[in-house]
Every structure is written in structure tokens, then in C-alpha cells.
């Protein structure tokens, strides 16, 4: 089970709440005192219409306890009316991600009834703005280990996620599963040399898979954890380099890179910046890395197994 422990003192600094990134130089904090608060927040997702944000919160007052999922609506250009989602339990819910088409909310949880450890779930989006009953993604994806960070792909059928229960190069590795209309296929490791003996997690495709962003650290909950960028060479992802961001350094914990579905050139990340800062872990908005890779990795990643 992944757990983030704050190791630095925090301060509340005056800064405008940002629902967008107008005037972004390098980065801006997301929703000061609404999304990012004195509690620990991370792993945010913005809907394709730009009207809703969902994120994970750690021990935030008003939640069910532990890690919970929260959401807020865009009103007058700002995120407002933050509230916990009704699907939260006394167990942990974290790593939320809305699908690009708005049909699903994916997340991980160690709630009862799973396959063991952290499992991946998805809940259907309802017409009234809520979410329906969460459904476990099944034994093809989930194991008796821990599955984290579900990221639906731009094709609507592919799913990136991290697991320590499917074998691989070391601790948590990044895998891809394909929806066949009934269930997710047996996952395959991400093509290329991305997976290592370290933890790799929180992966997302940019530019229809030409570029990959992800987090890597020797241990997922201890510094250093950094966001990396890898470009597709047409068949696999080449050597990954740390993403250029001033607080994405070797002495910090920076993770959860996720595209804003309403603004594809902008990226949400979680971590600890020197300023502005709201709490133990905050959510920030920055410019997405340039997509310079070639097409082909998404197709190679999600090709269903031969029958």
C-alpha cells in the first residue's frame, strides 16, 4: 500500500486559486485552499469539459478517513464547493482519473471484497453529476499485490497502470491492459526500457502515445521520486529523462503527472514546491512536455493478444 509521509514543515502563502493556467510561467498551484489545502492532496484529474476536478486527499477533514476522493466544480473561473465523493469508504480511495470521454472515474482502493492489497476500480458517471457503484476491474488486472494509478488511454480501450503483482523488472512496473468489450485483457509490460528494479508508476500518454510521462523512485513513498519523460521511437519508449520542473529534483517527491483533458498542453503534477505552497503535498499545474516522439507505441502497447 502506497503511503505519502510529509517530511517538511508547511506554510500557507497567499496565492490566487487557479482553475486554469493563464499566465503560467513555469507552474502554478491548483485551487489554493479549495483543492490544495493544509492537508495532503495529490493525483488530480480534470474533466474534458473543464468543469470538474477530482483528486485524492490524505486525512482531509470531512472525508471518510485515511485517503479519500474529493471533487470541486468550476464557478466564476475558480474551483469551488469542494466535497468528498459519496463512494468513499473507511478504507483508502486514491489515484482518481476521469476517462477522456467522461464516462468513467477510475481509482484504486484497498476496500473489502477485492483481490488483495490495492485494487483498481471504475465507477460510471451519472447524469446527475454523481458516480455509480464502483466495479472492480477483475482478476485480469488486479492481483494479491498492489495495483496503482489507472490511466485510461486516448483510444478509450487501453489502460495504463502500475503493479507489483504481475512480475516484471523489480518493484512496481507499468503495464497496459486492453478492454475487449467484456473484460480487460491480461496486461503486458510497457514496451521499451521504462521498467527497472525501482518503482515506476503514475504513467500517462501524451500526444496519442508518442510521449510518456511517469514517476520513478527507489521507493514510491520516499524521496527521491521524480517525474520522467520518454519519447517513442516508433516501437518502444526510449531512455527516460527527468521532466524539467524546478521542484522535480532528486531530494523531493514529485509524482502523478496527468494531462488536463480540457487543455491538452497543460499537465497536473503533485509534489512540494518551495512557493506557492498550501500543505504537506499540493497539486500544481504546468506546461506539458513537448511531444517529440513517433507514433507506434500506443498501438504496440494495446494490441490485444492473439486468439
CATH 2.120.10.30 holds for 27-302: yes
Give the whole-angstrom CA distance, residue 288 versus residue 127: 31
Strand partners, 231: 211
Q: What is the pLDDT of residue 20?
A: 41
- Whose cell is 502500475? That residue is 162
Give the whole-angstrom CA distance, residue 97 versus residue 106: 5
pLDDT in tens, 166-196: 877 778 999 999 999 999 988 999 988 899 9
Give the whole-angstrom CA distance, residue 230 versus residue 240: 4
What residues of the chain score a pLDDT lower than 50?
A: 4-23, 303-307
Q: What is the pLDDT of residue 167?
A: 79
Q: What is the pLDDT of residue 191?
A: 87
Q: What is the pLDDT of residue 3?
A: 58
Give the whole-angstrom CA distance, residue 134 versus residue 148: 16
Q: What is the pLDDT of residue 166?
A: 83
Cell of 240: 527516460
Q: Where are the domains of the chain?
A: 27-302
What pTM, to 2 d.p., does this model score?
0.90
Nearest to 256, CA basis, from 201, 174, 212: 201
Give the whole-angstrom CA distance, residue 268 versus residue 259: 6
pLDDT in tens, 128-181: 999 999 999 999 999 999 999 999 998 889 999 999 978 777 789 999 999 999
What are the b/e assignments for 21-58, b being 16+ CB within 10 Å?
beeeeebbbbbbbbbbbebbbbbbbbbbeeebbbbbbb
Please count the other Cβ atoms lying within 10 Å of the Cβ belonging to residue 305.
Answer: 9
Alpha carbons within 13 A on the beta-carbon side of 54 = 26
Mean pLDDT taken over the chain: 89
- Within 8 A by CB and 6+ apart from 122, the residues are 104, 105, 106, 107, 134, 135, 137, 150
What is the maximum span of the chain, computed from C-alpha positions, in angstroms? 58
The SS3 of residue 154 is coil
Give the whole-angstrom CA distance, residue 100 versus residue 48: 6
Amino acid at each position: 500500500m502506497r503511503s505519502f509521509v510529509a517530511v517538511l514543515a508547511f506554510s500557507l502563502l497567499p496565492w490566487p486559486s487557479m482553475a486554469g493556467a493563464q499566465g503560467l510561467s513555469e507552474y502554478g498551484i491548483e485551487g489554493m485552499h479549495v483543492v490544495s489545502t493544509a492537508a495532503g492532496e495529490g493525483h488530480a484529474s480534470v474533466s474534458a469539459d473543464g468543469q470538474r476536478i477530482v483528486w485524492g486527499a490524505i486525512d482531509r477533514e470531512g472525508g471518510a478517513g485515511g485517503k479519500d476522493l474529493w471533487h470541486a466544480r468550476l464557478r466564476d473561473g475558480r474551483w469551488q464547493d469542494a466535497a468528498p465523493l459519496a463512494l468513499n469508504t473507511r478504507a483508502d480511495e486514491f489515484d482518481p482519473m476521469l476517462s477522456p470521454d467522461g464516462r468513467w472515474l477510475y481509482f484504486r482502493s484497498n476496500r473489502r471484497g477485492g483481490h488483495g492489497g490495492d485494487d483498481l476500480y471504475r465507477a460510471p458517471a451519472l447524469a446527475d453529476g454523481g458516480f455509480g457503484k464502483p466495479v472492480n476491474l477483475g482478476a485480469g488486472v488486479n492481483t494479491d499485490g498492489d495495483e496503482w494509478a489507472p490511466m485510461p488511454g486516448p483510444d478509450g480501450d487501453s489502460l495504463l497502470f502500475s503493479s507489483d503483482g504481475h512480475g516484471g523488472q523489480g518493484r512496481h512496473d507499468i503495464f497496459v491492459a486492453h478492454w475487449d468489450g467484456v473484460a480487460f485483457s491480461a496486461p503486458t509490460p510497457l514496451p521499451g526500457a521504462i521498467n527497472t528494479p525501482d518503482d515506476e508508476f503514475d504513467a500517462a500518454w501524451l500526444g496519442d502515445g508518442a510521449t510518456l510521462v511517469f514517476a520513478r523512485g527507489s521507493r514510491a513513498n520516499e524521496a527521491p521520486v521524480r517525474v520522467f519523460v520518454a519519447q517513442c521511437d516508433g516501437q518502444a519508449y526510449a531512455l527516460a529523462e527527468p521532466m524539467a520542473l524546478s521542484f522535480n529534483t532528486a531530494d523531493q517527491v514529485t509524482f502523478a503527472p496527468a494531462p488536463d483533458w480540457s487543455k491538452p498542453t497543460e499537465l497536473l503534477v503533485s509534489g512540494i514546491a518551495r512557493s506557492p505552497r498550501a500543505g504537506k503535498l499540493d497539486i500544481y499545474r504546468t506546461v506539458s512536455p513537448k511531444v517529440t516522439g513517433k507514433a507506434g507505441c500506443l498501438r504496440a502497447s494495446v494490441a490485444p493478444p492473439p486468439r
